[in-house]
Chain A
């Protein structure tokens, strides 16, 4: 089954599917922004916890393997990025780890180490919050929500069409790759390059054909530029607004109050002997 099917299935079976898409989007964006506005490590930790909880609730703890792997990959990339930030501290500040590591001149300072952790928590909080949203909101619902806030219909139409056909084309490309493999298409590096190029060209040509066929099929069904929804999701209520603003304001002031409460150097010093 394709990635699109996985995401669709996950979204439609979510316990949060009947929550207002705009409300959910407003809520997760509000928490992400407040995480960026404060220097406290505790606020992104809280928003990360909220994101994890929402994702667990949304998926009923049944996250498909492919999405689990995607989360794992994202966390790995963030660890690498944060690691880079932590070792590239200000050369004027005193370092508790100084030297060379692979191609890098390491200068890890207290400030760079704490900044790396802050960025890491902000990033994973953002990922979990957005995944909680994505795993509970089918794309047609999102497009419908955008339409309700007077987004240009061309934009919402594009969102739905790209979402629907991008994965179909990817699947087609993979089928072509498999077909080439069956005919020894990877026997030698030049042949492999030719096979990949052929598959890409084939996918491009197929995309033209698919576009034409889909346009005809949609026309036959009286499509006139908007994808209607049979079971419309609820609109954003005032409750979402109050909840998001209230929580964001509370976290913002708590963040200002709690800035510097946690120093990650103190946490790791006994373990790493700094």
Chain B
């Protein structure tokens, strides 16, 4: 089924100034509604400019930007409508975060939409909860670390309750755990029906996440689609200032060594193990959907029956609830637990209920690698 494009750039050319060289030239790109899109490109390729063009900050000199099939109107009302739907998280939170207090900044966007105060309060509470910054609500921004500021910037965008979330290098400057949390949040938004666009230089991180990847090079879209196709042309990859992900390279090498077809391409560790592992019998994977309130109880119940089995936690609510518990995989736990299963070991995965579709989707993907995971959902 073909999905409708939520954003479309048609032959867009843009220069910051008439006397300056163009940053985007005859630029064409479609962003599918509800998709997970990665935007890749070398420094200066025009990723940020493209994001600003999508949100109406940059008005193209040529071509047009369509939002939901309609050309963007560069009027006050037209831009208000567009920006109420499309939220941006900038690379540097210090450029985005403006107010002195955390909750004041998160409320800044919704207040600009003239929403009722109750609605603003609800949105602020929810956004801060989603990024686990509730206890910092009344803290001055300057007291926060870089990672916390990034979370505030993300919360500010979440509070807009956008239909499109544009994240410009959201993991830049973050430690690996915080990066994982951001990717979980991006996945959560996707599951809520939000179209998520992420620009990044971390090819390994988006390789396992994105449905569609678009590569920008020389002011144009060089490639858009399934990224494995792009990586197969090494000369093109290098011309675009890119490098292929480690997992892609390993798959190519091991496939060649074993005389196997590189396809299907594993996009995460569990798929790689499922494809090449010697142990073809799956370990048991106990899946436990939970929420912050019942995660501890469920942890106690399930670990009592299965002592010594590795436990992973996926999702910020469950992770927060189980912060004092003995959890082996605190980050990237879905991949870790499926890797256990693919290598014949039992594991328990406790996750926020919203991720159910992602968890089950991974089991389906593993079937494509010849691995039928022995999965049991405990409610």
Contact = CB atoms under 8 A, between A and B. Distances in A.
Interface of A: 1-2, 4-5, 8-9, 12, 138, 140, 164, 210, 213-214, 216-224, 227-231
B104 A140 contact: yes
Interface of B: 52, 55-57, 76, 79-80, 83-84, 87-88, 90, 95-96, 98-101, 103-104, 107-109, 111-113, 120, 124, 138, 140, 142-143, 156, 160
Given A9-B140, A217-B95, A220-B55, A228 B108 contact: yes
Contacts of A140: 99-100, 104
Contacts of A224: 76, 80, 112
A8 B124 CA distance: 21
A230 B102 CA distance: 11
B83 A222 contact: yes
B120 A230 contact: yes
B57 A219 contact: yes
Nearest to B166: A220
Contacts of B108: 221, 223, 227-228, 230
Nearest to A229: B104
Contacts, number: 84
Nearest to A165: B98
Interface SS, B side = helix
A221 B83 contact: yes
Contacts of B120: 230
A12 B99 CA distance: 12
Nearest to B111: A228
A216 B55 CA distance: 10
Nearest to B142: A5
A220 B138 contact: no
A4 B140 CA distance: 11
B95 A228 contact: no
Contacts of A230: 101, 103-104, 107-108, 111, 120, 124
A98 B169 CA distance: 73
A229 B138 CA distance: 13
Given A214-B95, A216-B52, A230-B124, A223 B140 contact: no
A217 B109 CA distance: 11
Which interface residue of A164, A210, A222 has the most chain B CB atoms within 10 A? A222
